[in-house]
Amino acid sequence: MDKIFVIDFGGQYTHLITNRIRRLNVLSEIKHPDDPIAELAQAKGIILSGGPMSVYDNNAPQLQKELLELGIPILGLCFGHQLLVHASGGIVEQGYKEYGVAQLTVLTHDSLFKHLSNKEQVWMSHGDSVKKLPEGFIVIGKTDDCPYAAISNPDKKLFGFQFHPEVTHTTNGMKILENFISICQCKRDWTMKGYISSIKNELNEKVKGRKVFMLVSGGVDSTVAFTLLNQVLGKEHVRGVFIDNGLSRLYDSENVRQLIEQHNYTNLYIENCSDVFLSRLKEIIDPEEKRKIIGNTFIDVSNEILKKMGLNHHEWLLGQGTIYPDTIESGGTKNAALIKTHHNRVDLIHDLIEKGLVIEPLSHLYKDEVRELGIELGLPEETVWRHPFPGPGLGVRALCSNGVPDKAHIPFDAATKQLCEDHAISIGFLPIKSVGVQGDSRSYAHTAVVSGTQEWGILEKTSTYITNKYHDINRVVMLITPGSLPKLSLKKSYLTHSRLDKLRKIDADVMDFLHNENLMKVIWQMPVVLLPLTSDGAKECIVLRPVLTRDFMTASFARIPFEKTLLLAQKIMSYGFIDAVFYDITHKPPGTIEWE
């Protein structure tokens, strides 16, 4: 079978590239930069991924120059583009940062840009850029800020893009990749059904007669994984437990009960362990520490359940519904940067993985592929299209604080103030940080807040302008409740039953809103975030984070009509314990989908 290798230089989109190539029915595999040349030469084409480093960093991964002499078509993306230039004798300039949508001017319509228009929307996310081309290379595409956005060496079939064709925000990125596949002369004979067959064989080989114990959250990933394990191994070899950790949504327990009834899963049980989790999370405010405590507590509680059920842990493997974004954001590939630690990637899990005691049947898939797999396995559409929910649950959607104010303040310069004034926008600063991803690396930065205009295009451009210009800001929100922004300060807030119940209630209202407006399939995820910001010492604030995405590696904020969001905000405000409702208008990157 023809295949394309993606060489992993640590980029957040490395596995996404393989996903996209598979979507075009060509087998794609990830390889490391130091894999033997003889092995890499078996590919029909090679793609060099992005990465979090500069080509000039002492510990940056290197490109084997022998690759360039194989005669195999090679496409470098972002860091891979810069590395291709650097290895070929060109010059890369450090320090120019660019994130978000850009307009590419196509200079030649042969090869990679065949059948494309003169102007194409592309997605940028980089910190360095090419300054001088190597000998033999020509420019085939440029943007206003990037004169070498697309390059090629026609004689050697070498290509480089500063932008990312693999993300959905590059409008015709799939066509570009399809053109690369044509240049590679690949047969397009890879299918999802073929993948299902191979993963079943892989599961039987890994399990080897043992049994699998799995935590089922009621979400899409764990439900599909649990169903796959049951179909492959049989119910007598699989045991599932839904642990109510006090951090779940209002409907999660009911969804699991329905799953049990619909599929006769007599091997799936429900355990209430909320007091254990919340006692360990008492007065914890750091996002990473919360995630690690939740992940470790899941393991501890699981072990107790195993003992109570009389299961010999030597005969059982731990099953997880881990998908690829969970792995890559946790720094799970050789050269990747840590964005955030997922609950299923804490140290205890890593130890179990190294011992061969963890089975993860979805670990090479993205959300869209998991949903396709769920349909193939016979799960109902309403289950497969349920909105994703993080493993740590509301634990990472209820931000916490010890009440000590963050004294950092980012002054907006005259140009920024003038830009906002020209568009009737008021701009301010929220004294709170959130997790982001900028240039393939993690950021933990502040939030800007705007109000005024209701023009989505203007708001998008303003948000992109602010996060590109101010590196200490990775997120922009819009005030959607009527009136001016109240004077807000941090309040002492932790994970408690009462605080989580308030967030649970509002989250349920938002999910009902999406159902009623027929938006569940349009909007792929809509986190509801509780902020420890107050005007009176008692109330707090809410952020709505609706996003559009297919792979969850990149996302754009969804544009729900203002009149509908206003009605939703008014309902949230009617409870009396909320100061303001914000709407997150940040793309990913630079803001992650979740705030923690």
* β-bridge pairing 528-531 and 119-126: unpaired
* β-bridge pairing 268-272 and 238-244: parallel
Total length of the chain: 596
Choice among 81, 164, 342, 343 that is catalytic: 164
Choice among 86, 120, 146, 166 that is catalytic: 166
Give yes or no: 202 in active site. no
Strand, coil or helix: 200: helix
Paired strand residues for 150: 141, 161
Alpha helices in 453-542 (DSSP H): 456-469, 497-516
C-alpha 271/C-alpha 165 separation (Å) is 45
Give yes or no: 166 in active site. yes
Which two structure tokens, joined as six digits, stand for 475?
């997120």
Q: Residue 49, Cβ neighbours under 10 Å: how many? A: 33
The one-letter amino acid at 581:
V
Choice among 78, 146, 184, 273 that is catalytic: 78
Please check whether residue 336 is in contact with residue 326, taking contact to mean a CB–CB distance below 8 angstroms.
no
Give yes or no: 273 in active site. no
C-alpha 501/C-alpha 395 separation (Å) is 12
Alpha helices in 336-430 (DSSP H): 347-354, 367-376, 381-384, 414-422
Which two structure tokens, joined as six digits, stand for 172?
């015709």
Please check whether residue 278 is in contact with residue 497, taking contact to mean a CB–CB distance below 8 angstroms.
yes
DSSP structural state of residue 74: E
- Report DSSP letters for 151-176, one per residue: EEETTTTEEEESS-TTSTTSTTHHHH
Residue 538 has φ and ψ, to the nearest 5°, of -120, -50
C-alpha 264/C-alpha 255 separation (Å) is 14
C-alpha 480/C-alpha 59 separation (Å) is 46
C-alpha 1/C-alpha 186 separation (Å) is 9
C-alpha 575/C-alpha 485 separation (Å) is 19
Per-residue b or e along 56-69, where b marks 16 or more CB atoms closer than 10 Å to that residue's CB: eeeebbebbeebbe
Nearest CA-CA partner of 77 in 27, 3, 20, 1: 20
Q: Which residue do the tokens 């190597």 mark?
A: 134
Catalytic positions are 78, 164, 166
